[in-house]
Amino acid sequence: MTRSVNTPPLQFRDIDEVADALRDAGGRFSATRRLVLEALFAADAPISADRIAAATGEGGARLDATTVYRILERLEELGVVRHVHLGHGPGLYGLTRDGGREYLVCDGCDSVTALDPAQLDPVRALVREQFGFEASFTHFPLVGRCAACAGDHAPGPAASAGHGHAH
């Protein structure tokens, strides 16, 4: 128990707060960055860099993917954004102010369940007790089989044919 820090405020409630943070860090706040932030603030779930680029294209020239990745990188450094890998596809980016949601992903039907971090606190506590390990399901989800799929066939090996999902 060396520390007591517990996720600093870092709210970033709106785009202007992010703009300030960007400038405070010696950066600039361009129209381009505003577009990316608008896409992020508009999204209700984490989205890919490509989808962000597409969103920016709706009202004008679509931003280049490179630019989007670079902006997201900067925003992650500032703690505004975080990305999660929910499967084999592209990383998905979301605002940290959205509570740092954690995820359950079903191996069988690929369904994604977003949880409030508090819901996983008992699990986290157990893992901490047993392994001295502070678990987080924000970057990689908790993977397994949802109730529906668990009854389908066992989670063991040889889980392939006839299920239409490949990992």
Partner DNA sequence: TTTTTTGCAAAACCTTTGCAGTTGG
Partner DNA sequence: CCAACTGCAAAGGTTTTGCAAAAAA
Residue closer to DNA by CB (options 40, 120) is 40
Count of alpha carbons within 13 angstroms of residue 137, beta-carbon side = 23
**Site stretch for a copy of itself (CB under 8 A), options 27-35, 43-51, 64-72, 152-160:** 152-160
Binding-site member from 24, 58, 130, 164 for a copy of itself (CB under 8 A): 130
Output the smallest distance, CB 87 to a copy of itself, in A.
Answer: 9
Q: With respect to DNA, which residue has the nearer C-beta, 25 or 125?
A: 25
- Tell me the three state secondary structure of residue 114: strand
- Which residues face 92 on adjacent strands? 48, 84
The set of long-range contacts for 52-57, using a CB threshold of 8 Å and a minimum separation of 24, is: 52/93, 56/32
- Supply φ then ψ for residue 39, to 5 degrees: -65, -40
The residue within the footprint of a copy of itself, chosen from 47, 155, 164, 165 (CB under 8 A), is 155
Nearer to a copy of itself (CB atom), residue 62 or residue 74 = 74
DSSP per residue over 74-113, as a string?
HHHHHTSEEEE--SSS--EEEETTTTT-EEEEETTT--EE
Q: Please state the length of the chain.
A: 167
Which part of the chain contacts a copy of itself (CB under 8 A), choosing from 35-43, 47-55, 58-66, 140-148?
A: 140-148
The tokens for 50 are 């490509």
Q: Which of 13, 23, 139, 165 binds a copy of itself (CB under 8 A)?
A: 139
* Nearest-approach distance from CB 83 to DNA, in angstroms: 7
Q: How far is the CB of 115 from DNA (least distance, A)?
A: 22
Q: How many residues bind a copy of itself (CB under 8 A)?
A: 56
